[in-house]
Amino acid sequence: MDTKIIFNNRLKKYKKKKEKMQRKSYRLSNLRLLLFVLGLSLTIAAFLYSKDAYGYLVLLISTITFFYVVTKSIEANNEATRFSFLEEANKRCIDRIEGSWTSFIDDGIEFKDSNHPFTDDLDIFGSASLYQWLNNANTYYGRTTLKNILSNPTNEIKSIEKRQQAIKELSSKLDFCQHLQCEGMNGDLFENPEKLLKYTENDLKLIQNKFFIYVIYLLPIITIFLFLLWIFDLILLIFPLSLLIAQIVINIFNYGKIFKILEPVYSNKNKINAYQKIFKVIEEEKFNNDYLLKLKSKLYNRNKPASQQIKNLDKIVGAIALQYNPIVHFFINSLFFWDFRCVFSLEKWRDESGLALRDWILNIGMYEALSSLALTSQINPNWCYPKFDQNKLTILTEQIGHPLINEKQRVSNNLTIDNQILIITGSNMSGKTTLLRTIGINLVLAYAGSAVCAKNFKCSIMDIFTSMRLADDLNAGISTFYAELLRIKLIINHSKEEKPMIFLIDEVFRGTNSRDRIIGAKNVLINLNKDWVIGVISTHDYELCDFENDNSGRIMNYHFTETYKNGEIIFDYKLRKGRSKTTNAKYLMKMVGIEIKEENEN
């Protein structure tokens, strides 16, 4: 079945469930108002026209019924929100299929790095990037884990294959991936949780003296007991009142210390609640893959699941919330040392579970990153998972295309780079740069363990270096040409390390005159013509094509071409062997309305 139909059916299903829950929530809200008015009226009537006992009974029943309906109303509203997020998750998949995904808010712009060996040139981060297309992660560590996988590929085949097998299993678990995404959307998880983690990993105690801890627990009991004695006229009010004032003074003097402890935890209340739900989603899923099972096993501490332990923390956060009801908080805190008790509960939780929290959240991040990478084959089941060659430097592909180009516009090519360097020629707009990016971005996907945009794909593990999108830096006094020189130097220097690598260079030294450009380009090819280096270089300088005849036999010519029909230029974007024999600069100038004058014209 067409994947667009699958996602559209899922969207309709969740939209229907959302609307059902919204109607239920609306009915419960009306019922809640009705119960409040009815309960208040019956309670007043019971107190006025019957015994007080009946009045209290009616009040109790009305209160219990009212809060039961309130609870059900909140549950219905939460379910409506959850179905809304699931609806949105499927809408985004349809947007990816239709090519309207560039409006997604999270494009990873903060991860852009113009000095990185390849991410800027290959559009890995930023607007209309691979990250923007792929990412389903919502937590801080989910986003950074995906960023690290894409920008810092491992050179160990076993690690890639292990991740690939995990991604394959996740690609068949669409419900799990979308529920993981949904719970992440339902929480403020983008920000770094370091403030929370610093507290949970800190072993400092608010009170070191055990005697004072006993005082905190016993003093409220004594105070309440003395108030009871006063009520029965057994003692003077001054005695319980003195102890209550002492408790208030203790609270005032310790307010600053307590606030510093409770604030970083309470400020993360939405995160904590969302983490608990995400843990539950992972814990309830059954996996077969060893890597996924190992990740899941780390969500246990002291034989208790992370969801249960984080739920206990969520309850403590709920108790801390009393601070935000000032009047009630003042009386409860004054009488019971409420804030001290919250701190003690936090310290106990921290001793039992605090050190495990970072690993739990990191595990969420890995699941999110892997689920994002599984998206490629969920949306494009005809894409293949790459194979890896350890014996030689190679890229062997069948029907490789650019994953970010919509399928209807995408043109695929067969490509073989067998321990070779390819020189690509062709006229403007014929597809040279797109080919370079196609090779690079599919290698990034392959090394991430994801499916790639090809029918078949086999490659070696290589360091990727590119030189395509270069700009001047006025503040540093660096021109575009000098920036390219520095980039080419970086590539050549890396080749001296004798590590397997691939370079992708687009129109080398375009910022200088043709004579110097040809001399420079020839020297680049000479420097990079090494057994552990393969690459692709595009150029308009056909003189470079003569390298195909050198003694090494490693340099091959390929080209793109175009045809002209009815006054229009037509590109087929198909890669062909040999050098280009066409140019189109003058024709393109005419197309945009620039008058072409020959040199002998006045």
Q: What pairs with residue 387 in β-bridges?
A: 458
What 3-state DSSP class applies to 67? helix
* Exposure letters 2-32 (e unless 16+ CB within 10 A, then b): ebeebbbebbeebbebbeebbebbeebeebb
The partner residues of 568 in beta bridges, in order of sequence, read: 565
How much is the average pLDDT of 508-519? 78
Mean per-residue pLDDT, 370-382: 97
Chain segment 287-297, per-residue pLDDT in tens: 999 999 999 99
The alpha carbons of the chain give a radius of gyration, in whole angstroms, of 33
Sign of CA dihedral 364, 367, 373, 375: negative
Note whether 431 and 571 are within 8 A (CB): yes
pLDDT digits (tens, 9 = 90+) for 561-581: 887 777 677 888 999 999 887
pTM: 0.90
Nearest to 465 by CA among 397, 403, 535: 535
Residues 332, 554: Cα–Cα separation, whole Å: 81
| Per-residue confidence (pLDDT) for residue 427, from 0 to 100 | 81
pLDDT digits (tens, 9 = 90+) for 308-318: 999 999 999 99
pLDDT of residue 473: 55
What pLDDT, on the 0 to 100 scale, is given for residue 477?
47
pLDDT digits (tens, 9 = 90+) for 171-181: 999 999 999 99
Q: Output phi, psi for 417, to 5 deg.
A: -125, 100
CA 98 vs. chain centroid, Å, equals 22
pLDDT of residue 602: 47
Residue 375 has pLDDT above 70, yes or no: yes
| Reported confidence tier of residue 598, pLDDT bands at 50, 70, 90 | low
Say whether 572 sits in a helix, a strand or coil: coil
Per-residue pLDDT of 147-192, as tens digits, reads: 999 999 999 999 999 999 999 999 999 999 999 999 999 877 888 9
228-237, 412-421, 518-527 — which one is most confidently predicted on average?
412-421
Residue 578 Rama label (left phi>0; alpha psi -120 to 50; beta): left
Confidence of residue 243 (pLDDT cuts 50, 70, 90): very high
Domain residue ranges of the chain, discontinuous segments joined by + = 1-95, 117-379, 387-591
Q: How confident is the model at residue 470 (pLDDT cuts 50, 70, 90)?
A: low
Report d(CA 569, CA 162) in Å as an integer.
47
Tens of pLDDT, residues 11-68:
999 999 999 999 999 999 999 899 999 988 988 888 888 777 788 888 889 889 988 9
Please report the pLDDT score of residue 379 as a whole number.
Answer: 96
Spatial distance between the Cα atoms of 121 and 467, rounded to a whole number of angstroms: 7
Q: Check residue 512 and report its DSSP letter.
A: S
pLDDT band at 511 (very low <50, low <70, confident <90, very high): low
Closest CA to 467 of 492, 448, 442, 446: 492
Provide DSSP, 330-345: HHHHHHH-HHHHHHHH
Q: CATH number for 387-591: choose from 2.40.50.100, 3.40.50.300, 3.90.1150.10, 3.40.50.1860.
A: 3.40.50.300
Q: What is the mean pLDDT of residues 216-233?
A: 92
